[in-house]
Amino acid sequence: MNAEQQAIAASRGDQRFQTTHVYSWGRNDFGQLGHQQIQSACIPTRVDAFDVLDEDIIEVSCGSAHALFLTSDYDVISCGSNFFGQCGFDPEECEQTDNPYKVAAFDGLQVSMISAGYQHSLFLTAQGKVYSSGNN
């Protein structure tokens, strides 16, 4: 992939690419933009939380109020509303997060595809297993 290649994932959409820089904008009521604050953004704003990663972001999927990111090491990172566990965290411990965090539940699994729905998420592993979280 050359440096000129770009991709966009719209709300409730998916996109596969490889980049070291992620930008997001729009409503941010639950931290789904990953800007480490609850404030909407009217212009594309870089998600600085990814600057410390030693891996690229290769896929983004946006739900109603949460976002999923897949890394080149096949780790899952998420942020936003987790009221139903759609980010992959225990909702009793974390109802929402404006800071993108790695989903520890997938440690040791090679997640190869992600999909964020309205209040749920789906995860496909390289072994062909499907995992889900959130409101079904």
Give the residue extent of every domain in the chain.
Answer: 18-134
Beta-carbon contacts of 102 under 8 Å, excluding residues fewer than 6 positions away, are 75, 76, 77
Residue entry with tokens 């990814």:
50
18-134: what fold? Methylamine Dehydrogenase; Chain H (2.130.10)
pLDDT of 66-106, one tens digit each?
Answer: 999 999 999 999 999 999 999 999 999 999 999 999 999 99
Average pLDDT over residues 57-72: 94
19 versus 96: which is more confidently predicted?
Answer: 96
pLDDT level of residue 54 (50, 70, 90 thresholds): confident
Average pLDDT over residues 9-19: 52
Residue ranges of E strands in the chain:
14-19, 23-26, 41-46, 57-62, 66-71, 76-81, 96-102, 111-116, 120-125, 130-134
Task: Name the pLDDT band for 17 (thresholds 50, 70, 90).
Answer: low
6-14 mean pLDDT:
47
Q: Which two tokens stand for residue 125?
A: 């592993």
Greater confidence (40 vs 54) lies with 40
- One-letter amino acid at 4 equals E
Res. 33: pLDDT tops 80: yes
Q: Report pLDDT for 5.
A: 41
Are the C-beta atoms of 53 and 59 separated by less than 8 Å? Answer: no
Spatial CA neighbour of 58 closest among 107, 128, 5: 5
Q: How confident is the model at residue 51 (pLDDT cuts 50, 70, 90)?
A: confident
- CA-closest candidate to residue 32, choices 85, 100, 88: 100
Pairwise CA distance, residues 68 & 16, whole Å: 12
Rounded to whole angstroms, the Cα distance separating 126 from 74 reads 9
pLDDT of residue 19: 66
